[in-house]
Amino acid sequence: MMRSGSRLILILAGILLSGMSVIKSQMLVESVAAVVGNEVVYLSDIESMVADLRTRDRKTSIDDLRCNVLRELLISKLFLDQARIDSITVSDNEVEGELNARMNDAIRRAGSEEALEKYFNKSMIEIQRDIRKALVDQEIIGEVQRNVAKDLKVTPNELKKFFAAIPKDSIPVIPQKVELSIIQLDPPENEENKAEARQKLLDIRSQILAGKSFSVLAIMYSEDPSTASVGGERGYMMRGELEKPYADAAFSLTKNTVSKIVETPFGYHIIQLIDRKGDMVNTRHILIKPKVKPYQTTRAISKLDSIADLIRRDSMTFETAALKFSTHKDSRINGGKFVSSDPSERDTWFLLEELNPEMYVKVRDLKVGEISETFRTTDENNNVVFRIVRLDSEIPAHRANLKDDYQNLYNVALMNKQSKTYDDWIKKKIEVTYIKISDEFKSCDFLKKGWLK
């Protein structure tokens, strides 16, 4: 990421050197901190990264920060130089999706494009170019690292030796983990509750259309605790970050207009568009959730109690009851097996602390195979539901061991082996690569390990 001043110096250097490149002449101009093969580390990049680190780390000295940054940049340039040798490339199109996400996130954090430009003292085009370059380099470095560490495995014998070498007092304690199955019921006659929620929101919408402040009414009535206190404002968000019905409504609005009622898994919303910038919208919303009446709670608990009684008397299996009665879509088709909501994981093991408070209280005292009493709780979208839960299996809190934690220990051992492989590769690469370091950095201790020639 080169700043304009750096470019100007390099252009002038090119003229003075009669067309010879900085690298070919093997000379360092003022703004160049180091040369690694055909790659250049610019002083401006180091100072920019040090300034950023300094905002989070006031204990480390500036000199140490500069040396740390230089080391990381030199290593990255070694991988990039190898990519050039191996003809490994990544096109701009391959990082376009990630680039858009990073740009939108940066704008959202800054508050606006203007604020982002002011923070970096660059135009949006320059910021986008710099982020694209960083993403391309990141992908290229990753590909080289995969080639360096390809086919690496940890044999059972290596894993045993790795584990045996860990000091006993350094072996981590693994918290208790549980596998669960659930049967869930939604409140009976919930359509009546939904109709009442819609009517309440219609009344609020009428007040807004009559001239009352959306923000004030959001503070008074919205049931979204994360936004109600700020007048319902959600901040800049991309379409993919919003529930589809919400996004469809928000992106169809013009500035300051108010949507019709929108239903999402979280409840019912009315939405006001504050601003739109490219692929992002900033909206206000008022959320109203259906309210469960006492008699509905009584009926749901009674029905679940009856189902649990059938299971306890072996008149029906838990799995059959889940498939027949449960309204929890993710688990019912798997016989009630409770899985994480993260689609990339779909893990069935949970730490007790990962469960919501009501689930935690019911599970902590169960023995394996036992079914809890019926309880009221909330689902992943914070809607009221009723559940019974069975403790399928558990791993008590324990110090890590090869029997219970083989895969986790394998992953740690593999990462350790990969790290050593990278270190060995870097040492060999340093020996065969042209490297030139600016005199102002030669006091960095790490340079004594082969970097200075």
In a domain, 168, yes or no: no
Region 417-426 average pLDDT: 96
Q: Check whether residue 99 and residue 77 sit in a common domain.
A: yes
Element (H, E) at 233: strand 233-238
Q: How confident is the model at residue 162 (pLDDT cuts 50, 70, 90)?
A: very high
> Above 80 in pLDDT, residue 238?
yes
Give the E-state strand segments of 13-171 in sequence order. Answer: 32-36, 39-42
Q: Check whether residue 184 and residue 197 sit in a common domain.
A: no
Q: Check whether residue 185 and residue 331 sit in a common domain.
A: yes
In a domain, 409, yes or no: no
Q: Check whether residue 362 and residue 242 sit in a common domain.
A: no
Q: Check whether residue 434 and residue 325 sit in a common domain.
A: no
CATH of the domain at 353: 3.10.50.40
In a domain, 376, yes or no: yes
Q: How confident is the model at residue 12 (pLDDT cuts 50, 70, 90)?
A: very low
Cα distance between the two ends of the chain: 26
> Domain tally for the chain?
3
> Above 80 in pLDDT, residue 193?
yes
- Give the per-residue pLDDT at 18: 29
Region 140-163 average pLDDT: 96
In a domain, 217, yes or no: yes
- Give the per-residue pLDDT at 377: 96
Contact 42, 32 (CB under 8 A): yes
pLDDT: which is higher, 442 or 23: 442
Q: Check whether residue 306 and residue 378 sit in a common domain.
A: yes
36-51 tens-digit pLDDT: 999 999 998 899 899 8
Category of 155 on φ-ψ map: left (φ > 0), alpha (ψ -120 to 50) or beta: beta
Q: 404 burial class (0-12, 13-18, 19+ CB within 10 angstroms)? A: middle
- Give the per-residue pLDDT at 382: 87
In a domain, 453, yes or no: no
High-pLDDT (> 90) share of the chain, %: 75
Region 139-164 average pLDDT: 96
> Above 90 in pLDDT, residue 52?
no
57-85 tens-digit pLDDT: 888 999 999 999 999 999 999 999 999 99
Q: Check whether residue 79 and residue 140 sit in a common domain.
A: yes
Question: What does the alpha-carbon distance between residue 340 and residue 127 come to, in Å, rounded to a whole number?
Answer: 37
Nearest to 201 by CA among 279, 262, 280: 262
In a domain, 439, yes or no: yes
Question: What does the alpha-carbon distance between residue 244 and residue 215 come to, in Å, rounded to a whole number?
Answer: 23
The Cβ of residue 248 has, within 10 Å, a number of other Cβ atoms equal to: 13
In a domain, 237, yes or no: yes
Q: Which residues contact 29 (CB under 8 A, 6 or more apart)?
A: 9, 10, 13, 22
Question: What does the alpha-carbon distance between residue 19 and residue 16 come to, in Å, rounded to a whole number?
Answer: 8
Mean pLDDT, the chain, rounded, equals 89
Region 134-161 average pLDDT: 95
Question: What does the alpha-carbon distance between residue 179 and residue 392 come to, in Å, rounded to a whole number?
Answer: 5
- Give the per-residue pLDDT at 199: 97
> Above 50 in pLDDT, residue 19?
no
DSSP annotation of 374: P
> Above 80 in pLDDT, residue 30?
no
- Give the per-residue pLDDT at 301: 97
197-236 tens-digit pLDDT: 999 999 999 999 999 999 999 999 999 999 999 999 998 8
Q: Check whether residue 238 and residue 371 sit in a common domain.
A: no
**Which two three-digit tokens encode residue 82?**
């190898």
- 288, 319, 343 - which closes a domain: 288
Q: Check whether residue 249 and residue 302 sit in a common domain.
A: no
308-333 tens-digit pLDDT: 999 999 999 999 999 999 999 989 99
Question: What does the alpha-carbon distance between residue 85 and residue 130 come to, in Å, rounded to a whole number?
Answer: 23
In a domain, 307, yes or no: yes
Q: Check whether residue 279 and residue 297 sit in a common domain.
A: no
Nearest to 285 by CA among 328, 222, 349: 222
- 253, 288, 323 - which closes a domain: 288
Category of 430 on φ-ψ map: left (φ > 0), alpha (ψ -120 to 50) or beta: alpha
239-259 tens-digit pLDDT: 888 999 999 999 999 999 999
The parent domain of residue 129 ranges over: 4-152+419-448
Q: Check whether residue 118 and residue 194 sit in a common domain.
A: no
Three-class secondary structure assignment of 301-352:
HHHHHHHHHHHHCCCCCHHHHHHHHCCCHHHHCCCCECCCCCCCCCCCEEEH
Nearest to 183 by CA among 354, 386, 340, 391: 386
- 288, 303, 324 - which closes a domain: 288
Rounded to the nearest 5°, which phi and psi values hold at 317? -75, 155
- Give the per-residue pLDDT at 322: 97
Q: Which residues of 352-384 are buried (b: 16+ CB within 10 A; e: fewer)?
A: eeebeeebeebbeebeeeebbebbebebeeebb
Partner residues linked to 398 by β-bridges:
174
- Give the per-residue pLDDT at 257: 96
Q: Check whether residue 67 and residue 106 sit in a common domain.
A: yes
CATH of the domain at 68: 1.10.4030
